[in-house]
Amino acid sequence: MIGAASVARWVLHGPVNSDSLAEAVAIEAGSLSSGSGCTFVKKSQTWVCEIPSREGSGSVTYELTMKDDSSCFDGVKVASESEPPEDEPKTISGCVHLWQWSLL
């Protein structure tokens, strides 16, 4: 018999890759589109995602830490040269979901 945790892990959570993670970050940050993807930074074991700002006039960069054995993440906005509007969330948390992956 399959446990609820196993079902939730495989049914609710989708595969983590550059595009699916960018889409999840955009959803959590309230962006209108997902941007071009995320980059895995092997040295720090984090992902860096740049997405369009809510207003679409610039971009916002988030550094993400993935939760162990999960498609879920916690992210912190990283300062950039072209500082996005202050209404962008400073922190985000979310997951790559299977339903989201099927929409890409």
pLDDT per residue as tens digits for the range 29-78: 998 788 778 999 998 889 999 998 887 778 889 999 999 888 999 999 99
pLDDT category of residue 10 using cuts at 50, 70 and 90: very low
More confident residue, 78 or 3: 78
**Higher-confidence position of 60 and 101:** 60
Can you give the C-alpha Rg of the chain in angstroms? 14
**pTM attached to this predicted model:** 0.78
Domain ranges of the chain: 4-103
Instruction: State the pLDDT at residue 101.
Output: 44
Res 100 pLDDT > 80: no
- pLDDT at residue 74, as a whole number: 97
Residues 6+ apart with CB under 8 A from 101: 14, 15, 20
Q: What is the DSSP string of 21-55?
A: HHHHHHHHHT-SS-TT-EEEETTTTEEEEEEE-TT
Cβ proximity of 37 and 56 under 8 Å:
no
So what's the pLDDT on residue 9? 44
Amino acid occupying residue 45: Q
Quick one: pLDDT at residue 6? Answer: 44
